[in-house]
Amino acid sequence: MVTRLAVLSVPFVVTLLFIGPLPVSAFGSESGDQTFLPPTWAVQHDVACKVPTGKVDDASCDVDAVEQANSDQLHSILHELMNTTYFRLISISLEGKCKYWDKSISEAKCTAQTPVNPFAAAAANIPPPPQEKSQCSLDTGGTKVPAKEEEPELEEKDPYEDVDLDDDDDDEDDDFDDDDEDEDESPNFNPLKYFSRYTKTTDKVDMEISSREQATLELEPCDNASLPDFWLDMCRNIPTNSSDYVNLMLNPERWTGYNGSHVWNAIYHENCFEKMGDLEEMCYEERVLYRLLSGMHASINIHISLNYFPPSKRHNRSDWAPNVQRFMDQYGTRPERIKNLHFAFLVLLRSLRKAAPYLYNYPFSLGDGVEDRRTQRMVQRLLDSHLMTSCGQVFEAFDESLMFREEEGGATTQARLKAQWKGVFHNISTVMDCISCQKCKLHGKIQLLGMGTALKILLLPEQLIAASLTRPELVALFNTLAKFSHAIRSVPILAQQFLQFQRSYRTEILSEQLRSSENSAAPPPPSVSSLPPPSASASFSSSSSFFSPSNTVKVPVDVALDSAMAALAAAGMAGRIPEAEEDVLVDGLLARDEDLLLLARHYAPNSPDRFLRHAARRARTGAIGRGPRSVSAPPAPPAPVVDAVVIGGGLAGLSAALTMLDRGGRVVLLEKQGHLGGNSAWASSGVNAVDVNNTASGDSVDAFTADTVKGAGRGDNPLIPVLTSGSVDALAWLRGRLSEHLSLDLVGQMGGHSFPRTHRPSSGLAGSAMIFAIQKQLDKYAQEREPRLQLMKWTKATKLLTDESGAVVGVKWEVVGPPSAVKEGRPMASGEVYASNVLIATGGYASDYTEDSLLKEHRPDLLKYATTNNKGTTGDGHKLALAVGAKGVDLDDVQVHPTGFFNPRDPDNKVKTLCAEILRGEGGVLLDSKGHRFANELGTRDYVTGRMIQQEPQTLKFALVMNEATARKAETHIGLYTKKGLITKFETLEELAKWDYWGMFVTEKSLQQALKKYDEDAEKGIDSFGKKFFHNVPYNTNGPFYVGIVTPVIHYCMGGIAIDPEGQVLDKDMQPIPGLHAAGEVIGGLHGQNRLGGNALSECVVFGRKIGLSLPVGGGSEAGTPSISEPAVEAKGGESAGGGARKVTWEEMKKHTTEESCWVVINDKVYDFTNFLDEHPAGAEAILRFGGQDGTEIFEAIHTPEMLEDFTP
């Protein structure tokens, strides 16, 4: 008797649907056998077999989408990929000892009977084994392609032909693959007596491993569920080694005669789960694990059914043949099991998507250059499949962020759930060692290792993925994905084979079932004695089920109506159909609308989702008109009054607006804050562009493209060339059109760039300087006698207006902000504005910590980090576009910048000052608390952040050290950060060694050694981290030094709204939404997994300009200003503190330091900034800090003198 295993000290509340015993006919069609003996059993299945349709549970796509993507692209790539040397060789330990059963019990219980052969009469004797090597044994030799198996010449007999099995015997062919978890063996039955020779395992596997591998196996487990590395040991109970490789092509998955029911019994409900209800009562995490295991189980079963009967000369079988009856017994009436296979497939695809930046350039190398390049290209082709219309949805259908949410039960409860969940997976992994069939163990372990690898990728922070994966895990992941893909593809094939074989000798049975389906929703299978005469008139199709009749089945009206109403009710309760459409369809069904009845009879019983889609489509066009209500088209919108509405006053929106105005266009610009600039005004490092006039630089558009593609980590995409080639024109426009107030006279090199191409001004910060220059030009348009620019600050867009075709025709808006945003005596305003086109340029969502934020929805793990974004960066534009059907792209790709300043005087402030990347670009060095370098400072942001997390996971605080030469190159930044108290200057190395940041072991000598090693590496031209560019060296140890504390911060959202290369927003079918465009950080897909520093401002100018140049102008009102209720918002300059040339004493200045009255001295003049506090891009606090004081030094560190032109001293 098998002992129940204790798994967890705290019961893990997981419930699994009990998978009951299945019928056990072993009949199957036989390839090449032209003589079919009539079977003695009746047809057991309805012709319209139940099939998985509709939504894949716990995922965001349907079965059709999965099967189409698999059929169109994925299966063929995976099949080819598995034939490469890299992916057909795997090292995995098969010698683990079973901890739960002793050998005698294991061997006795785990031995299977041979399958029934329906063609042979019962015989008295057990045949000898068909070949010397058991079908459970492994071929481990070499990499050669497996030769076709041949029968031993001395054995002409089918080894499965003469097995003596009583008709009354209930023993089943319970392979490891079988769905049966119950056995009803006689206590006196000893299968070893008859079948031990069929279940012997292979010779011993060489178990020698290196000392390093042994040390790895003995590492402490990751037990702290609150740490980011908790999931690193997900696969620890599936050990691998480097001394023994198995060729998977020599060991295909097929029937072996092994009975693994005790193993599945332990996995499902003896060992790993406590039964406490049904599937609907499980929590999300429990369902995920159950569906993964069920999907793996289904894949194994399907492959066994595909390759069940071995080659036989007697039966003219030259290859393995399927057992289609076995497949139908298991899945003919259980489509939910196939759906779980779809779910598991989606989970693995999502893990590939998340790991794509690491995998895309991974060297899948075994030393054969040609083969290695071929393998890498195929992997890249697979990873790029998400760009295809038919495949994009399936790579994002599973959302791992829904797992282990702290708000559901609190951190303590979730930590316990994590530990139990991982413990269950570890126990299941251990159970695999109780499989005594080596081939079964091999395939079971590989698929479990593949799923464990996928889960590890999904649950780990992105920065830990690269360092966490081993070659065997990658091989297992790709092989498991290929197995699931092949199983999904094989389901309709097996079902069709079942149908064809039945038709070959029992067509009359099928005809009878088709006729009886009109009288009964679920007719019983006919008995053999009552079968009607044969008929050859039945016609079949496999379009909407495994197989179903076409032009034959007539569904009764009542059945069709009931199915249709049930589908409609379910969709309505789930909120998947608008209330107005639901009303029309309900009324139409009750009134027996002819159109709806026709749809219901042909779609509703078997394809309710398709019925709803077609019915809703008819309702929207007003074609359903027999009910008491009908859908009427909305009234046509008013004619457009302007050429474009620009939502967002950052660099992208301003660039587009100025470009359109220069072409004669009419523009309304909405900005929800009291100032222009958005996050662009905070960008300090510069704008990336190829300067074609500077031939000495060696830079080119191709080089810029290569750098951006490499940084993105996801291969080419059509938006990158638009950015890189467009940067040439963008730089010329900035230097030409804005030359009155902007001078980009400096250029530097930032991380991830192979050439210096980051342009910035020598006075002021790049972003604010560009915003100011554009704003001065816009002011001129706003002051025209009949202005073509309507600037509406403190105004938020609340809805996109569309016509009946779905085209965007305008914007609904409302005034937000302080009382000063509204004219005296007037209530808060709202209204609508109609336009020929709408441009969304609202930035990202990296400052939205609210309950309904996109950050919380897609990256809740990042909520613990501070941000460098201003308070207006809340994803408004994303939500507007998604509401009209736009497609979201890479919304979980949020960039964590490695260097935001940590201010010891204000440690809890959620908004950090960005430490400009130019400081590292000009030679700044990163050191940990022990005074050690740990990364290439010029590496990509995700790389540097990942190294930080590995180096100081608890504190995440690091020192940025700069020498005098570096400080001079970044003089503007150093001055600003020093004034803010974020950078400290130390005159000598001795003083630096006494800095409070360092740990107790840092000394002057240890710092000297670290900097000396850096200088030596600079002379060599490369260091141990791969750094090749060393600017402003040598560091020398004489001083002075400029240092600050930096920490990772949320900085940028690479994900966003899908657009085409022209800037048009795309819907979920990747088709343009008429009238809607997007530019700047709001778009997704351009930067991939990682944005290179300086590309943000480039993106804004390039795409803003491109859209501004492409939109038609002249479509607005011919005369007068737009008919808009304008909110009274304008920036008010400061008034003279004393009026005229009155002298103001410092004693009087001290009275003006609050929000009610804030005066600041700049260049010996007093400015009243009271009414500007709420409009200041950096917030009121930045000005109030200098209230009543002289702010000249800090002002000049950030701004140009022209900034004060709007203020009267």
Number of other residues whose CB lies within 10 A of the CB of residue 148: 7
Q: Distance (Å, rounded) from C-alpha 1163 to C-alpha 368?
A: 69
Q: Distance (Å, rounded) from C-alpha 1100 to C-alpha 324?
A: 59
Q: How many helices (H) and strands (E) does the chain have?
A: 35, 25
Q: What does the block give as tokens for 427? A: 């126990």
On the question of a cis peptide bond just before residue 38, with omega within 30 degrees of 0, the verdict is no
Query: Is 833 exposed, middle or buried (CB count within 10 Å of its CB: 0-12, 13-18, 19+)?
Result: buried
Tell me which residue of 362, 866, 801, 844 sits closest to 650, measured CA to CA.
844
Q: Phi-psi region for residue 376, left (φ > 0), alpha (ψ -120 to 50) or beta? A: alpha
Q: Distance (Å, rounded) from C-alpha 859 to C-alpha 1051?
A: 13
Q: Distance (Å, rounded) from C-alpha 654 to C-alpha 975?
A: 29
Active site residue 75: no
Q: Which sign, positive or negative, has the C-alpha torsion 115, 117, 121, 125?
A: negative
Q: Can you spell out the DSSP letters for 540-553? A: EE-SSSSSEESS--
Number of other residues whose CB lies within 10 A of the CB of residue 175: 26
Annotated catalytic residue within 897, 941, 947, 1091 = 897
Q: Distance (Å, rounded) from C-alpha 792 to C-alpha 954?
A: 45
Q: Distance (Å, rounded) from C-alpha 757 to C-alpha 768?
A: 19
Q: Distance (Å, rounded) from C-alpha 1056 to C-alpha 1061?
A: 15
Number of other residues whose CB lies within 10 A of the CB of residue 212: 9
Active site residue 897: yes
What does the buried/exposed string (b/e) look like for 638-656 if buried means 16 or more CB atoms within 10 Å of the residue's CB? Answer: eebbbbbbbbbbbbbbbbb
Q: Which residues pair with 837 in a beta bridge?
A: 644
Tell me which residue of 1014, 862, 1005, 1027 sits closest to 935, measured CA to CA.
1027
Determine the angle formed by the axes of helices 608-620 and 579-590, rounding to 10 degrees: 100
Q: What does the block give as tokens for 454? A: 């996928």
Q: Can you spell out the DSSP letters for 952-1013? A: -TTT--EEEEEEHHHHHHTHHHHHHHHHTTS-EEESSHHHHHT-TTS-TT--HHHHHHHHHH
Q: What are phi and psi of 608, to 5 degrees?
A: -60, -35
Tell me which residue of 460, 453, 457 sits closest to 479, measured CA to CA.
453
Annotated catalytic residue within 342, 602, 920, 1091 = 920
Residues 6+ apart with CB under 8 A from 1118: none
Tell me which residue of 640, 644, 639, 637 sits closest to 790, measured CA to CA.
644
Q: Can you spell out the DSSP letters for 172-186? A: ----TT-S-------
End-to-end, the C-alpha distance of the chain in Å comes to 94
Q: Which residues pair with 1057 in a beta bridge?
A: 888, 1083
Q: What does the block give as tokens for 227? A: 């740490």
DSSP 8-class letter at 73: I
Angle CA(523)–CA(526)–CA(530) in degrees, nearest 5?
Answer: 135
Q: Which residues pair with 1053 in a beta bridge?
A: 894
Q: What are phi and psi of 588, to 5 degrees?
A: -65, -40
Query: Helix, strand or coil for residue 660?
Result: helix
Under 8 Å between Cβ of 541 and 549: yes
Catalytic residues, which ones? 897, 920
